[in-house]
Amino acid sequence: PVRVYENANMLYGTNPFLKSMLNNVAKGKQEFPVHLGSIIDASKGYCSYVGSLTTPPCTEGVTFMMAQKVQMMNPKQAREYLRTAGACVDGNARPIQELNGRQVTCYIK
């Protein structure tokens, strides 16, 4: 069973996205909204492309967005993420794919 932590900031650090995600997981939530602005700061720039999921059924038409600035997490956040994500971290079902004509668009500030 997952323990609900009272002081998420102390336990999960200050990365707002991971703090929110791990706090929701600790409360036993299977689904919860994720606000893109909490992951990617558009004012710092980002890249995007349309690809497909890496796990079956490998659905196409998925828009991937990558922040230009690396997000930081503390060691406790990393351990908790790996503990809760489990097989998802190990579960890439296929190797990196060629671009095959897809365009990667970058917005750099």
Condensed to tens digits (0 to 9), the pLDDT of residues 26-70 reads: 888 888 887 777 788 888 889 999 998 877 788 899 998 888 887
Nearest alpha-carbon partner for 1 in 34, 37, 28:
28
**103 exposure class (CB count in 10 Å sphere: 0-12, 13-18, 19+):** exposed
Compute the distance between CA of residue 101 and CA of residue 67 in angstroms, rounded to an integer: 22
List the helix and strand counts (H, then E) for the chain. 4, 3
Q: Which residue has the tokens 């929110």?
A: 20
- Say if CB 71 and CB 17 are below 8 A apart: yes
Report if pTM > 0.75: no
Quickly state the pLDDT bin for 14 (edges 50, 70, 90). Answer: low
pLDDT recorded at residue 86 = 59
Confidence of residue 6 (pLDDT cuts 50, 70, 90): very low
